Structure 1
Amino acid sequence: MHLEGMEVSHMKFGEGRVMELQEKYITILFPQGEKKFLYPNSFKKFLTLKDKNVQTQMDNMLKTIMQEEEIKRAEEISEQERMEEIQNMKIRPDSQAAFGFVENDREQVFSSWAVYAGSYQSGGSKGKPKIPVRLKLNSACLLTECPKGVAEKRRRIIGAFMLQDNFESSACRDGMIQSHEKYRIRLEDKETLFYWDYFSDGMEISKWGNVELKYFSNLIMEKILHDMQQAILDEERRKEAEEFYQYFCLINRLKPVSSSEMSQLKE
């Protein structure tokens, strides 16, 4: 807003003229000399513009700022409440989910950042969307694929994401699991991690089968997310993966490996 040269009045200093407007401060010349005020907060109580049209614009701007501040405060309170809920909730030791891309399409999953839990294979609910009952706010979804003609032991990890903040498994009637808007990882083709390396221990690996979703332990997911950071080649994406990892450890009450410890592991 252009205010230089505008006449204003102050409840204590009287009439004045705007000399300079900076990002957070406004300088006004009064008969007693120049005074500097916070901008635009000083127009809430102390300053009034002589031009009524400009004052109306100022009032509207202040109203918008106040609304934005209220929204920000509400979001901060909501985030605090959410973290308190997570910290107080019971953590299952096996509340992580791996998806085999039996009923999912890779490109569709990465374009929407949502994955289908699969269908029930038998019983009265056969063919209906599976409700991912074990998934909670502390859960991560691990995305894996094994292309046709490739040995199952070479099943690759291709990505992961945390659940949407307001996720509730009981409400997931359509089987579609939405991702968190921030905590997501997609591995490139050269960034290779094999899924069964975290489970086989030299044992024979069976086929994945027709089930889309398999549950596994929080400790294994912690190890996978740690290794995903090391596998990522791009520095910016690696930093995002580290934030993901730290967040996962926080809400699962696990001790993360520090940056210095990671450096030692590389050496």
Structure 2
Amino acid sequence: MQTNHYKSGFISIIGRPNVGKSTFLNYVIGQKIAIMSDKPQTTRNKIQGVLTRDDAQFIFIDTPGIHKPKHRLGDFMVKLAENTLNEVDVILFMINAEEGYGKGDQYIMDRLQSMKKPIFLIINKVDLINQADVFPLIELYKEKCNFREIVPISAREGNNIPELLDMIANQLPEGPKYYPDEQVTDHPERFIISEFIREKALQLTREEIPHSIAVVIDAIEKRSSNTVYIQATIITERKSQKGIIIGKQGKMLKEIGVRARRDIEALLGTRVFLELWVKVQEDWRNKLYHLEQFGFNEEEY
């Protein structure tokens, strides 16, 4: 039931690559909508997750990690992350407690200084360090930026996340429910399915593969009352990478498909027949035509 003073608003999650932004989002939402990997720069688009409570609706935007771009796709990712700062009511700046302070953090904090909105410092992965080491981190960052709140959490374990959500709710403006109670993301199923496939390729392939791949959904068809057929193409930049993704006698591609199908079936609540192909598009990350074709439209941001 919506109260008279219902609150709602947009919250941006920013930080260097691989600090745990997607893990945090998935934990808060209660299901998987953002892909996770131990490789940096996993997130390429804004992933919008919706949490609805009796007192407030939180619309979280998980952005690509802010980093020094090496290609046009990297430019797109950084521009996307930075532009979200102007669209939101609260900013969560997340750091990795294991890594501590770095130049990338200072670059982000320099951008944050001019922001006239609540900024929280979220120290993630505190379950992986000695608790006595958390306090020096808090003091170090407190000197560098004027944070509204500093909250140590574990996105993996859920430590301090309920308390963090209450703090965020206190900062949100009064407003309507933007989304129905049951909706957890504004992304179409097609996008999430492509991300699940890309996640499995990221998890299974070698270091030279991850950021040279994209996934395009070619077809989604309901074949019967309980079966959906999906055809998707994994795009990569070089023939050698194509060989790695396919693997010996097709074993790697088959394993990517098996793992992705499990997540897709959980998402759709039905049996899935997944057919994967691999295609080479040389240097696609630097070509505007291919970036737009694969869903990275710079004009929108």
Short-chain TM bin: under 0.3
Q: Which gives a bigger RCO, structure 1 or 2 (Cα 8 Å, sep 6+)?
A: 2
* TM-score calculated relative to the size of structure 2: 0.23
| Richer in helix (by share) | 2
Whichever of the two has the greater Rg, that structure is 1
